[in-house]
Structure 1
């Protein structure tokens, strides 16, 4: 399937049409957009918003209102406006019946004009404009080095496959940035050889 005919990405675009703040396609779909093709099947679509914009999320997504998903069990519970959600563990999900695949909203930490990696004790940062790429038809998605940084922790087969699919597409600057963020924490990480 061609990336520009994806029902899932069309559903995300429609869902976020009236959302006034920054958002990004994340996860495997972001890597598909970077590669310019659908590389594998996806079970859901991840969309990242800034945690500081949570009030706008509450104002925009009212019918239906997304639910809070427990990261451990996958169980959902109602989300009340005003309830604070943290970058990392918390996610909002929309009812599966509304879209071709489940769409979940994840939250990113930020500081003024910078994205902040919530697992990096605030030391891993990048300007918001630099983490933002756009598909030919304008859909915003996370830069691949950011997506792969998150995926580097898991060791899941699909994360390793995602890395193998796009590693050769990374330019030297993106490769160096990712290498420099993985190597200090995981000096034996299997991706480092390919990133050198």
Structure 2
């Protein structure tokens, strides 16, 4: 099966994603810019996609629940179809879910390497914390990654939207969140401009 064009996104909203996964008895949570907006309690900017994370053990269950979508592995800039009954690579990090009938990508599934009890940072597994501290929920029960953790991901590339997300989040971060993010940046990106502002 050939993938859709990479820019053919008409992503679900967090509420739509929650409607599909809200009763699933496994770990999942919204990440990226939408996670920050769930924390803010309102949408601060447009989002071209929606990213959420699951643990490796949850991939098959998640794809089963989202059976109306066809999933494609994202690796090295290529999109490769992965049938629902096919074995997945052990080094799988990301899957895009496509609604082939409508002709749109709907979700971006990220694979996290922690455990049900411990959240682990994808790019450096030495950065870990209790999952109960890393994953929060909004008033509707939609789980999302905590803001300092989201900003850690965004710090690497510092795209325009990442800078805007940092600016919007900075006044609301708690003292502990600022400390955590500063320590993480000092360890991974010691010359990062955000450090002095935290």
Instruction: Give the unaligned 5+ runs of structure 1.
Output: 1-6
- How far residue 99 of structure 1 moved from its aligned partner, in angstroms, is 9.9
Q: Mapping of 1:47-62 within 5 angstroms?
A: 47-62=52-67
Corresponding residue for 1:4? none
Runs of 4+ in 1 over 6 A off after TM superposition: none
In the alignment, structure 1 residue 77 sits paired with structure 2 residue 84: no
Corresponding residue for 2:4? none
TM-score norm. by structure 2 comes to 0.83
SS at match of 1:66: strand
Corresponding residue for 2:118? 114
Once structures 1 and 2 are overlaid, which stretch shifts more, 139-148 or 13-22? 13-22
Superposed CA offset, 1:2-42 (max 9, x none): xxxxx612211122145320110111011011111111000
Q: Mapping of 1:175-194 within 5 angstroms?
A: 175-194=178-197
For 2:142, which of 139, 142, 149 is the aligned residue? 139
From the superposition, tell whether residues 87 and 145 of structure 1 become closer, same or farther in structure 2 (CA, over 3 Å): farther
- How far residue 160 of structure 1 moved from its aligned partner, in angstroms, is 1.1
SS at match of 1:14: helix
Corresponding residue for 1:24? 29
From the superposition, tell whether residues 137 and 160 of structure 1 become closer, same or farther in structure 2 (CA, over 3 Å): same
Counterparts of 1:13 and 1:85, CA distance in 2: 27
Counterparts of 1:151 and 1:63, CA distance in 2: 30
- How far residue 134 of structure 1 moved from its aligned partner, in angstroms, is 0.9
TM-score norm. by structure 1 comes to 0.84
From the superposition, tell whether residues 165 and 141 of structure 1 become closer, same or farther in structure 2 (CA, over 3 Å): same
Corresponding residue for 2:42? 37
Counterparts of 1:77 and 1:131, CA distance in 2: 31
Instruction: Give the unaligned 5+ runs of structure 2.
Output: 1-11
- How far residue 92 of structure 1 moved from its aligned partner, in angstroms, is 3.2
Q: Number of residues paired by the alignment?
A: 187
